[in-house]
Amino acid sequence: MSERPASFVEHLGQIQEILSRRWLRNVALVAGLILFVGLTTMAIGDFPGDRSSLDFYMLGAAGLVTCATALLLAAELGEMARLLGDYVPFRSLIGVALVASAANLLPLPGSLAVRTGYLAVRSQSSKQAFLASVVTTGMRFVISCVLLLAIIEGWWTTSALGAAAVTISGVTFAIARRLNQSQWVSALVRIAVVEIALLATAATQLWFIIRGLGSAASASGVIALTAVGSLSATIAVLPAGLGVREALFRLVAPIVAIGTTVSVLASAVERLLWTAFLATASLIRLLAGLGRQR
């Protein structure tokens, strides 16, 4: 029995090595980029509205939600550190969270690599840092599956999501217990709260974007798309699930009574908002750093 956790961890390490291979990242990036550009171009061509149908106040509100998401990503990183028995000041976490988010927009393994690298330096163990990242990703995956189970009907879909949720939750709990045997339950509860808050802000932002595009959507529909987007982001080979999220949005949108064109465009707008936010935040940090040097 004592050898099973070790072999399981080694198996996860092998997965990490596979996902870090340059050729695989390049192939996946090209495929995801083609899928993203193709779906977005089709959506722009099929968009029924014009500039007058856009609500820029709603789009502006969606941009403001990005700030809350950035703070929650920093809190998520802090909980990962606490799972490893470390405490990091929140101010330090914000900078790392911004860099991780920026990496998610580049042809890299994404924020997973940045966060894992940061925690590896502090904990002196890349294996434990990677496992902490797996715990947060697993918790987000499980919560997203539960949300979809409550919204989407169909025995095949329900069976697949249920099996995935049970399997991943078991793996997540086992890893968390291995990392912090004395406080793993409380650590998982805190991580779950942060992940739920992240999904809530993502759903709020998506609702603002859809309204800003001149369309409407039910709360359940927006939550379903948010959960699907969260699942796509767990694909570590692709930056922020590039292309995969748009394809899943196009598949799921009709099921939850949201237009496929609007859903794909909403995903593209969200990426643009994140890019604008990160550029602005980086400029502010650069100017602040120059000001301190004078």
Q: CA–CA separation, 288 vs 154, rounded Å?
A: 53
pLDDT given at position 62: 95
pTM recorded for the entire structure: 0.84
**The Cα angle at residue 139 between residues 204 and 202, in degrees rounded to 5:** 10
Which residue range is the domain that position 130 belongs to? 3-293
pLDDT given at position 4: 44
Beta-carbon contacts of 129 under 8 Å, excluding residues fewer than 6 positions away, are: 84, 115, 116, 117, 118, 119, 120, 123
pLDDT given at position 34: 77
Tell me which residue has tokens 């092998």: 14
Tell me which residue has tokens 């598949």: 251
| Burial (CB count within 10 angstroms: exposed 0-12, middle 13-18, buried 19+), residue 151 | middle
Tell me which residue has tokens 């609007």: 262
- Is residue 243 within 8 A of residue 33, CB to CB? The reply is yes
Give whole-number Cα distances, 134 to 5, 33, 52, in Å.
15, 25, 44
Q: CA–CA separation, 161 vs 145, rounded Å?
A: 6
Q: Mean pLDDT per 10-residue run, the chain (294 residues)?
A: 46 51 62 73 74 85 93 93 90 84 62 80 84 91 94 87 94 92 91 96 96 91 93 66 83 90 92 86 72 64
Q: CA–CA separation, 67 vs 284, rounded Å?
A: 14
In the chain, how many domains are there?
A: 1
